[in-house]
Homo-oligomer: A and B are copies of this chain.
Amino acid sequence: MTPEDFRTHGAAMIDWVADYMERVDELPIMPAVEPGEIYAHLPDSAPEHAEPFAAILADLDRVVMPGIVHWQSPGWFAFFPANHSAPAILGEIAAAGLAQQGMNWATSPACTEVEMRVLDWLVDLMGLPEGWKTTGAGGGVIQMSASDATHVALVVARERARARGASVDDQVVYTSEQANSSVEKGARIAGFRHVRLVVTDEQHAMAAGAFDRAVAEDVAAGRVPAAVVTTIGTTATTAVDPIASIADLARPRNMWHHVDAAYAGTAMLCEEFRHHQAGIDRVDSYVFNPHKWMFTNFDCSVFWVADRRPLIDTMSIVPPYLRNEASEAGAVIDYRDWHVPLGRRFRALKLWFVLRSYGISGIRDRIREHVRLTHELAARLAADPRFVVAAPVLFSLVCFRHDDGDDATDALAQALNAGREVAVTATTVDGIRVIRVAVGQTYTEQRHVDRLWTLISDLAW
């Protein structure tokens, strides 16, 4: 495929995506395929000879599309959003075209420094500590996912505790029983055998007293508290752990304090939500995912550390073929030392495109509109005797249940999803079934939430 061919096929591909954007709100959100169906529709072996691009594009429609879940539908209220946006896609194209391998500063100064600058911007935009900028003692790095970032934080915590003589087998990680599964997964992968899921209060936030007691018990038993992971915006209900109280307890014990703001970090762009991160100046690391609610394609998970030295000390191994003047002089950031992979894409481009194309005011407006729509829906649910709002609405998620109990709640969730016009997630909170409605898809507007309300109201008995 020559550059001229690429020009032609690229234009066709762009039109295909633009057409998809235009029609995605009319597509049934969930596919109607059985396990193995897409696999069976693909041939048993790869083609021996080159095929024309038109054939590939036709198969994208014929074979792939029937198995696509329309995360980009404005009727998407399931999980958390995993948004694309037009400027983010354009940024992905630029990144794919330039195909940088930004492992070192020297292998792509642009990939490194655009990332430094854009993440430094976000420190200001989100009201995070000034020292987290690359101009300070800390710094930010784009990782693939919050799972990766949390895993890395726990590895650094483990090595810090080891340096003080604690065996991995004796080290303990604490998080709340409402934390995302990535915390326990990351801890297990990092080798921890003790993960304490601290009980939560009636708001589903970590109970600081229970955390304190759990730590004391472990210390009394000869174990070593290595890390605590608090959450701003839990997955089930967007609860917020008391960061400041936990920091007060964790710091004197030399525990690494990592904050998972994967979803709710985006809200911190708006000042009115920042009280939720009070105490953030006394934590060690923080992750938030622009690839959820900030209109930036996956993968784009931002990980900040207050002090970059322990991170780099843990992750850095420099073989001769990666040695270079700029790195040896210590004048640059080599992002290979900030995460597990060596290679890295130019992911900062899409973030830069998004910030410039929307402008900060544009992003803030959309976030606030999503939050407003969420509160409006919550008010409708609260006013209807059939429904109970099951958790405080802090950001853009409302959790509710049917007043008749779990079966009625599950039946409603199934009925909502069966229509394939909207998608919601059913889960369990405090042993009770609830429906999560996450408002935050790039294209979601008033009419889509109104339609969801109509469906809820019509389908519930």
List residues of chain A with CB under 8 Å of any chain B CB: 1-7, 9-11, 13-22, 31, 33, 35-39, 42, 45-51, 53, 55-56, 60, 64-69, 71-72, 79, 82-90, 92-94, 96-101, 105-114, 116-118, 121-122, 124-125, 144-148, 151, 155, 158, 167-169, 180-182, 184-186, 188-191, 235-236, 291, 297-299, 314-315, 317-322, 326, 331-332, 340-345, 349, 352-353, 355-362, 425, 427-428, 436
Contact = CB atoms under 8 A, between A and B. Distances in A.
A146 B315 CA distance: 15
B353 A107 contact: no
A112 B39 CA distance: 9
A168 B188 CA distance: 13
Contacts of A31: 109-110
B11 A427 contact: no
A226 to B, nearest CB: 12
B147 A35 contact: no
Given A46-B359, A71-B101, 20 more contacts: A1-B357, A3-B21, A6-B90, A10-B86, A16-B97, A17-B94, A38-B114, A42-B117, A46-B355, A50-B359, A56-B357, A69-B106, A69-B107, A79-B101, A99-B298, A148-B340, A168-B169, A169-B169, A188-B314, A320-B428
A294 B114 CA distance: 28
Given A6-B89, A93-B93, A356-B55, A236 B341 contact: no
B108 A69 contact: yes
Nearest to A183: B317
Contacts of A49: 359-362
B6 A110 contact: no
A434 to B, nearest CB: 10
A112 to B, nearest CB: 8
A93 B343 CA distance: 21
Contacts of A6: 14, 17-18, 21, 86, 89-90
Given A71-B99, A92-B96, A343-B145, A39 B117 contact: yes
A3 B22 contact: yes
Contacts of A87: 1, 53, 56
* Interface hub of A65, A85, A113, A191 (most chain B Cβ within 10 A): A113
A299 B345 contact: yes
* Interface hub of A7, A299, A344 (most chain B Cβ within 10 A): A7
* Interface hub of A38, A116, A158 (most chain B Cβ within 10 A): A38
B14 A7 contact: yes
Contacts of A118: 42, 46
Given A14-B14, A99-B297, A317 B1 contact: no
Nearest to A235: B321
B86 A96 contact: no
Contacts of A148: 340-341
Contacts of A109: 31, 33, 35, 37-38, 67, 69
A402 to B, nearest CB: 17
Nearest to A39: B113
Given A113-B36, A340-B148, A100 B10 contact: no
Contacts of A299: 341, 343, 345
Nearest to A342: B147
A2 B19 CA distance: 11
B101 A298 contact: yes
A106 B124 CA distance: 38
A151 B9 contact: no
B50 A1 contact: no
Given A38-B114, A109-B31, A97 B89 contact: yes
Contacts of A68: 98, 100, 108, 110
